[in-house]
Amino acid sequence: MDRPAAMTRTRLAASILLTWLLGGCTDLQSAISPAGEQAGQLFSLLQLMTWVCGIIYALVLVFLGWTIVRVWKRASADEAPLVDPADRGLSRSMLVWGALIVGGLTLLITASFLTDRHLASLPSKEVLRVRVTGHQWWWRIAYRDPATGRWIETANELHLPSGRTTRVELGSSDVIHSFWVPNVAGKLDVIPGRANSLDLTPHRIGWFRGQCAEFCGAQHAHMAFDVKVESPADFTRWLAAQARAAAPSTDPVSARGAAIVTKGACAMCHAVRGTPAAGRPGPDLTHVGSRRSIAAGTLTMSRGALQGWIANPKALKPGTTMPAVPLDGADANAVAAYLESLK
């Protein structure tokens, strides 16, 4: 067998293995693929710590390995045990080892403190305020409409202007949750009875994902949200679109769906601005069709997903508070068409 071919094959196998291991990793929700100022700072701190800790671990390995090699030959010696032998050299080495640990710790404590201070003192002029409320198991998100000053609601999808600091004001309507968008910043708990706020300064445009990080009950696993970082101009356009009331339905199928949603059981829990539906317990649906996913990141948005979700939410997300809505095929289709049209 010729060598280069074998080498190529090995390299190919290695790269396939690596792709399988890490390539699946989509960077959508990752602390080691920072897309924001805060996450970037923390990633640098992580790298420093990994280096320092790696060196310490290597030293321990060398000492242990050397020891085993050194004493292996003596292992069969059948002499009497030593009681309190003189260890002058080892005692001195211990002091050096202690000094090394103290030095390393001082470095890391200082670095940690400086990072923390830097994060706390990031310029906070012109911050954009966003209210995020944790619910079992979804996120209510509210922006202030710059035109009218009113709060406008959406759910499970956070839009952030790139290059600007957004201050997320966290609240909980029930139990403790934790708000975490690892690509942009570290997490912060969402605690009933406490006001926490977290600054996010993203600088890479794209889609990311956040997820609840504090166990909050049966569907803790399905309490995610999409994060879109976009240019300030795109963000302004998006916000203006969100501020508008729902457009009236034009085609007959959607209109039938609108009637069911806004006059039926859905309106008990959901709001569609510009219609009689004004329920508060569930997510605002005014522009649900513009969102990327439904049910807090459980399903990708599509008409089929909407139909499936409405027909039997507990099959997709056992424990959810959303009840199954008994609709015949035509009505289910109409409702899904209407919701999808709410762009």
Task: Specify whether the CB–CB gap between 157 and 292 falls below 8 A.
Answer: yes
Least Å distance, CB 168 to other proteins, is 12
Does 212 contact other proteins by CB under 8 A?
A: yes
Angle formed at CA 290 by CA 288 and CA 293, multiple of 5 degrees? 70
Q: For the segment 216-275, give every residue that binds other proteins (CB under 8 A).
A: 216-221
Residue 151: cis peptide before it, omega within 30 degrees of 0: no
Q: For the segment 100-119, give every residue that binds other proteins (CB under 8 A).
A: 101-102, 105, 108-109, 112-113, 115-117, 119
Question: Which of 183/249 has CB closer to other proteins?
Answer: 183
Q: For the segment 133-152, give every residue that binds other proteins (CB under 8 A).
A: 136
Does 328 contact other proteins by CB under 8 A?
A: no
Task: Specify whether the CB–CB gap between 244 and 315 falls below 8 A.
Answer: no
SS3 307: helix
Least Å distance, CB 169 to other proteins, is 12
Does 25 contact other proteins by CB under 8 A?
A: yes
Question: Which of 6/71 has CB closer to other proteins?
Answer: 71
In DSSP terms, 219 is beta-bridged to: none
SS3 25: coil
SS3 339: helix
Least Å distance, CB 310 to other proteins, is 20
The CA distance from 166 to 210, in Å, is: 15
Does 57 contact other proteins by CB under 8 A?
A: yes
Does 30 contact other proteins by CB under 8 A?
A: yes
What is the total count of residues that contact other proteins (CB under 8 A)?
90
Task: Specify whether the CB–CB gap between 283 and 138 falls below 8 A.
Answer: yes
